[in-house]
Chains A and B, each alone.
Chain A
């Protein structure tokens, strides 16, 4: 299997290199046969990368500890399912997963463009895809090979990091990778369009699904990462503005900006240069994220930094940036739009300002992340830039973004009249004022939480107004009842309403984030059996403790009774686990989650006489962060579901 894996990687590299040679030959000689050959070579690479991926999976499943990578991330006691997911626990497997998905995407692109071979951008698109694949396959075969053998066969492996033995970690890395890899396709199409001399709107239409789907995967990856941090790390939060978290959030922000302005370009043929810049930037930032993670240049809570791959990524990233931005400069005259924004009071201009804020957020996050390096280089002083800094700098920008998100649906395309705006603005403004007053009476008076929730109410009311106006128009046109007209309207105009659903998800997330950060209550105490600890309306009584052994760990467990306002509610149990392969114990979070709040319990220490140190927190509205994330992802997917039927002709009644 090791040989098969190795050979498959080399074969994939050979085919990708072959594709490049044939494509370059085809472009230079203007020979269609070469381009066909290059396309075939590209389409064959997934065959070999799949074989390599299956080989590695088999080696993990069979405890092949003569392979260094398997020995480093698995052991005999590891549950079978985690053995399979240990595939992407380290750098080598992650890169193999990356190249496997990239090759599959390349094959899909080759299939989708089967009837477009005569179009000038097509061979360039293949060329960019093949170029990216060669880079990753080079790393896999020459620098960080997952099939590297040890000089001996180890009796057991080092095992998987206990923190990665969590369901969230099974899906978090692959979804992030799918997001990162997915943006290679829009990047390839953008470069193809410029190199092929045809940078009009056609490339954008073809990559809409790719860009939204990549954004969806990136969103899922980020949310799952937050969820994992919440249930596994035991500090009671889900986002710490850690450099590695930021590394995924920065391209997400730029990709979000791109998805918004690409809609404008599709509808109005404007912002062509802007969109090219955004998609090149998104791809480069995806690479930058990987560089940040793999170079170990910044200290992070993630422990997989400093692997020596940073230099390679830096060179590749610089090459991609030079090529992308160079082509934009070179194609500038052809990229210039024929049309333009007609009025400040138009949806186009709100999209433009939404872009400015998203990019400012990305820049602020990037600058803050890199500032420790800059400070050390300039002053020689080491500083730390963490959560408080990012909250201080980014929160005003987020609030401004919420305001623009709310205003956007109120303003029509091209040029909105002031009277129309007033008419549209009236209801949301009234609802927001009433909501704000309600918040004030309810005691929510701190500036940021008050503004965040009020603006969320504003966005939600503008979205519901949109749904209501559309449904009413359909009822008027078709004579259908509102209950039938509403789902039909949403389904038939899903690309438009999918966006609104995604914005509703943002609203839910903002409410969850505001509640959980601004109104968190916590307490910590060391208890003897029978003693209690109180936090908010809850009281926890420490009932009993015990120890037991599981497959790959020794466990100290403690059980509690929970009371709310004196009434018994439930029992909870929290653990400290001592994994055989880890020096430090891990704390297992005990969670009681409702729609209103989470009761979050961890046990940082157990004393010699069974006294336990408990950290208890009441985190309001956290569940809405996950629900909001799900709604956002659902909205994104909804907006790209293709049309299956012919367009319905609505009869006039």
Chain B
């Protein structure tokens, strides 16, 4: 941790507590590796929470259920600890990459902040942790990009992605419900802004905020494949060659479930699904080892080669 402080960019840059979530350590390592590198190119150091647990997903919707918010709040306590330990300097925000983690912790935080009795009960359930003071803010990586400005994102581009036609796909968890939305829930633009800054041709499709089927993928993959077919099909019809997203569950449903889609629809044409940060890292010209396309189900390499966007 102390070594990280030595990086020159941190002198002027931003060090912010970062919550990865379990999927970014397993099936979506490509999301994390590309995001950490892309953030660094922008002068942002994502400082991983030293100890963290599941975000608590999915946000519990039952009015009488507090126990399922304990996981979220314990992570927020870790942010308090990081500030006290000097791992970050007066930074009460916690950034997430995964949309599901964002939504769960954002809403749990909102719930307990609005209800002193909830905070008290959850604090009582803790063990060795200090009490949660209610001051941490949960933000999504895209909000951070908006804050530093798309101009800065654009200036960090070494090789723009001109010609690549990408459809932003928002999914649900960064848009809904309103209190957890990072953008206009009905007409979001933030992913398109980032893609435009990277130089891609942004393809807006009406299916860019339609649910991918989420966790139904565990026991009803046909339903999910049906939604994936619609979402990808409309993107293709609108002229997109690829999709960009920020949710590892959307990515799985849109990318890996193309196997099931192709089984059902023989004429289906596979489409690469990127994490937005993979495209950022590519455009920023950082070491392409962080792209980790081996974890993408539909290989994006041929498409990127077609546009001469890969080193080798």
Determine if chain A interacts with chain B: no
